[in-house]
Amino acid sequence: MSEEQGNKHRGAGMLKEPRPVGPTGKPLTDFPVPAPLPSHGPARVIAMVNQKGGVGKTTSTINLAAALAEYGRKVLLVDFDPQGALSAGFGTNPHEMDITVYNVLMDRKVKITDAIVKTDVENIDLLPANIDLSAAEVQLVNEVAREQVLERALRNVIDDYDVVLIDCQPSLGLLTINALTAAHGVIIPLTAEFFALRAVALLMETIDKVKDRLNQVLELDGVVATMYDARTLHSREVITRLDEAFGDKLFETVIKRTIKFADANVAAEPITSYAANHPGAEAYRNLARELIWRGGAP
């Protein structure tokens, strides 16, 4: 064999295998495990928003937070839904709590640190909510700078955390506007179903208005497809539509439908601890790595 042929032969042997293609139709990226942080804060604030209910928003908030915490990120979760599902997801009974996010918003004498509680998950703290929060929507209407009440409250703890995740209620009312005004970024969890797609246009319009009028640093971090079922043509078609609509803003990580998420919620644990080796847990770890890789979290 000539030297030239030998070089070609060795070169051919060094060719990398093509990367497998993911549900979004793009080659899968091997997102690196993030390096430990030398110190904590200031936090990047992310609003988890979708005015449609049942899209996996609270489940995504819980499990993304748990995955970020596993990578050493200190996370504050803000339950901004009067139903209190996020709070219940960590084993607290929000309806028995005397001090919640409602008191922080409506009573200037209540400090945000008075309302924050530790969870059983290392590196995760919680600002809980209960049905009282539903009254805030009405009461805030008469407040000066009513869209910025949450942002003012978070200023006092922003340096204590790396990420703040706000779990918004399924509406585009004043509470959600407060969350968008306080946030640096937005993640939109979206089920891989056609009807979920229809609501996104109004949400994007609201995000643009908040960015234009109230919060110029606000940006869309991405859309994460949830409850994906690769066996159905419908799910695959919706992912294709999402890719056409959002391009690089569609997270490569797709969360597949599984009963394990419901089981973990009943156990009041993130799936990362309830079923640590389950593909659902790995999916949220991958989402956390992708978010950090994209610059959406430190």
Q: Write the pLDDT tens digit of every residue in 120-154.
A: 999 999 999 999 999 998 899 888 889 999 999 99
User: Into how many domains does the chain fold?
Assistant: 1
- pTM assigned to the model: 0.90
pLDDT at 50 over 80: yes
pLDDT bin (cut points 50, 70, 90) of residue 163 is very high
8 within some domain = no
Q: Return the pLDDT at 226.
A: 94
Residue 12's pLDDT band, with cuts at 50, 70 and 90, is very low
With respect to residue 33, please indicate whether it lies within any of the assigned structural domains: no
Question: In this predicted structure, which of 1-10, 123-132, 230-239, 286-295 has the lowest mean pLDDT?
Answer: 1-10
pLDDT at 10 over 50: no
* Band of residue 11 on the pLDDT scale cut at 50, 70, 90: very low
- Please indicate, yes or no, if residue 279 is contained in any of the structural domains: yes
Q: Which amino acid is at 242?
A: L
**CATH no. for residue 211?**
3.40.50.300
pLDDT tops 90 at residue 94 = no
Mean pLDDT for the stretch of residues 95-120: 94
Range of the structural domain that residue 184 is part of: 42-292
* 24 lies in some domain: no
CA atoms within 13 A on the CB side of 217: 9
Helix (H), strand (E) at residue 194: helix 194-198
Q: Which DSSP category does 141 fall into? A: G
Task: Characterise 77 by phi-psi region: left (phi > 0), alpha (psi -120 to 50), beta (else).
Answer: beta
Mention every residue, 6+ apart, whose C-beta is less than 8 A from residue 170. Answer: 50, 51, 52, 53, 54, 57, 81
Instruction: Label residue 260 exposed, middle or buried (CB < 10 Å: 0-12, 13-18, 19+).
Output: middle
By DSSP bridging, strand 75-80 and strand 124-127 are: parallel
21, part of any domain: no
% of the chain beyond a pLDDT of 90: 71
pLDDT of residue 82: 94
Which residues on adjacent β-strands are paired with residue 44? Answer: 163
| pLDDT classification of 21: cutoffs 50, 70, 90 | confident
| 16 part of a folded domain | no
Q: How far apart are CA 81 and CA 78, in angstroms?
A: 9
Position with higher pLDDT, 56 vs 152: 152
- Measured over the CA atoms of residue 161, residue 215, residue 108 and residue 172, the dihedral's sign is negative
- Classify residue 94: in a domain, yes or no: yes
Pairing mode, strands 124-127 and 117-118 = antiparallel
Contact yes or no for 255/284 (Cβ under 8 A) = yes
